[in-house]
Amino acid sequence: MSAIVQAQTEVVQDPKHFELSPANRRWILWFILFGFAALAFGVFQGFVQGLNYAGISLFTFLPGMKTYYEGLTAHGVLNAFIFTFAEANGWLSLTTARALGRNLNSKLLALSFVLLVLGTVFAGIPIFLGKASVLYTFYPPLRAHWAFYFGIALAVVSTWIISAAQLWALAEWRKEHKGERIPLMAYVSIMTYIMWDISSLGAASEDLFLLLPWSLNLLPGSDPLLSRVLFWYTGHQIVYYWLLPAYVSWYIFIPRMVGGKLFSDSLARIAFIMFVVLVPVGFHHQYTDPGVGNYYKIAVLFLTFGIAFPSLLTAFSIMYALEIGGRANGGKGILGWFLKLPWTNPAVSAQVLAMIAFLPGGITGIMNASYNMNLLVHNTTFVPGHFHLTLGSAVTLSYFGIAYWLIPYLTGRKLVLEKIAKWQPWVYFLGILIFARGEISGGILGMPRRTALAIINYEPLPGWKLAGALTGIGGTIMFIGCVLFFLVIFFTLMQGKKMESTGDLPFTETYLGAAPSGWQLILDKLSYWVLLSFILIALVYGPFLLTHLPPKLTSPPFQGF
């Protein structure tokens, strides 16, 4: 069996040789750096948001910031949209190109990058001028300046262009490799973008056909219910667009980095297929919306629990690889292998800590999906507590870990300030645990989210002060962790020694590789899974749209800023 397995273990087309073109390398690096620049601006606003819960108001002291909601909008848009879009665009372009053994179309990469930058500028200017304090959910009838909606649209289009570049490369690859299995690393990268292509149609439709023309006074009013339905059609799945690039690293790179191997090629493909198929779960964000019928809420309740299953498959696959690696390094006993993981490698420690933080993040997500629990915690800090355990830890910490080897690979410069890099993930991890503890416990006690608690004119309920203090302390430690990361990356770019060779990407091998025949071949029929996804979407969202359309454009705009 060993010989058979070895013959099937490649997760890339050409494991021996690949040259990333200078143009591909340049645009991918710009994506990565631009994303971290957006994160830097966003986390500073996040730092101030955390202090707000501790009763410290710094909003009006920040240049260009006049209100709490300006800062909260900037924090959400820069960190949830721009940072994640840029990192995914760059990171999964690289993994697709390397897996297929062919560079992506550089003109498409350049166009995508330019649109993302323009989108950031268009969306950012009205935010910092106080004309788009509508938060990252931009619910109508709150109305922002038209440039905000236009900028968000450009940012989304930039992701579609990356998907087009991926699919173009795959089509060219298939012409030359008829009957062959898609290399796993390309498969998971492309499926991430296919999932996002389908999922982003809701918010994109809302933005382009309802909000943008409304902001230009081309429509008589807004339809808040339809807008919320379209937003949350995308709004839950965007979590997986944030998360799946981290999964690509956990599946494909972490096993090799810890000295292990990926257990099963097919299991990894099945997990990503489930993310593509189980798109229509957004109604669970609208359990309290009176205009949404019980049919939709019950349907998505079960689908939401179903979409936890691929994450359980991922947990099994990654734990398998970690244990194999830990035991190969001398670990013994039930948990002794865990201590033998290469914790001094920040590329590993950051991502393993991200996985640990994601455990309560996933559990609190399931709690949010439970109807009665959702009614209790929906408009409280429980939600951002959960949110920061997913986007703020599983995603952001993973990108920190990826950057520790990716920046040297793309620039040819050796990582500097290595001692700081070794401690940085631990500092951030400690911060996120304290922060989330404060937010979640406060939420259970009714502490409201999206509220300037530092300037409220009523007495906080019992327990809020302790929860708020923990949120402020944890947020401050997270901010310090981010500063340490930016210092390492900045000085690596400026002072890192040039390396003679950057080597190849550290992709894994698999024990059970891609079978050349049998039932597994259907896993590569991407159109089948897309069709199944649209059928499920039609079953869940079709009745609502048929009974609600045409839009009820009756709500006048409201600007509370």
Catalytic, 240? Answer yes
For residue 142, is it within any domain?
no
Instruction: Return the pLDDT at 3.
Output: 41
Query: How would residue 502 be classed by pLDDT, with cut points 50, 70 and 90?
Result: confident
Could you list the residue range(s) of the whole structural domain that residue 426 is in?
A: 345-504
Catalytic, 449? Answer yes
CB-CB contact of 406 with 28 (8 Å): no
What is the count of structural domains for the chain? 1
* CB neighbourhood size of 539 (10 A): 11
Catalytic residue of the set 251, 388, 409, 507: 388
pLDDT digits over 262-284, tens only? 999 999 999 999 999 998 888 88
pLDDT surpasses 70 at 236: yes
Catalytic residue of the set 145, 228, 256, 386: 386
Q: How distant, in Å, are the alpha carbons of 2, 183, 247, 265, 449 from that of 9?
A: 10, 10, 19, 8, 48
C-alpha closest to that of 392 among 419, 347, 361: 361
Query: How would residue 535 be classed by pLDDT, with cut points 50, 70 and 90?
Result: very high
Q: How distant, in Å, are the alpha carbons of 178, 319, 323 from that of 335?
A: 45, 12, 9
Catalytic, 231? Answer no
CA distance 5 to 513: 6
For residue 468, is it within any domain?
yes
CB-CB contact of 401 with 349 (8 Å): yes
pLDDT digits over 429-484, tens only? 999 999 999 999 999 999 999 888 888 888 889 899 999 999 999 999 999 999 99
For residue 130, is it within any domain?
no
In this predicted structure, which of 57-66, 99-108, 371-380 has the lowest mean pLDDT? 57-66
CA distance 52 to 146: 29
Share of the chain above pLDDT 70, in %: 98
For residue 432, is it within any domain?
yes
Catalytic residue of the set 263, 387, 409, 507: 387
Catalytic residue of the set 150, 240, 263, 428: 240
For residue 143, is it within any domain?
no
Catalytic, 387? Answer yes
Q: What is the rounded average pLDDT of the residues 530-542?
A: 96
Catalytic, 388? Answer yes
For residue 473, is it within any domain?
yes
For residue 467, is it within any domain?
yes
Which tokens in the block code for residue 225? 């219910």
For residue 393, is it within any domain?
yes
- pTM, two decimals, is 0.95
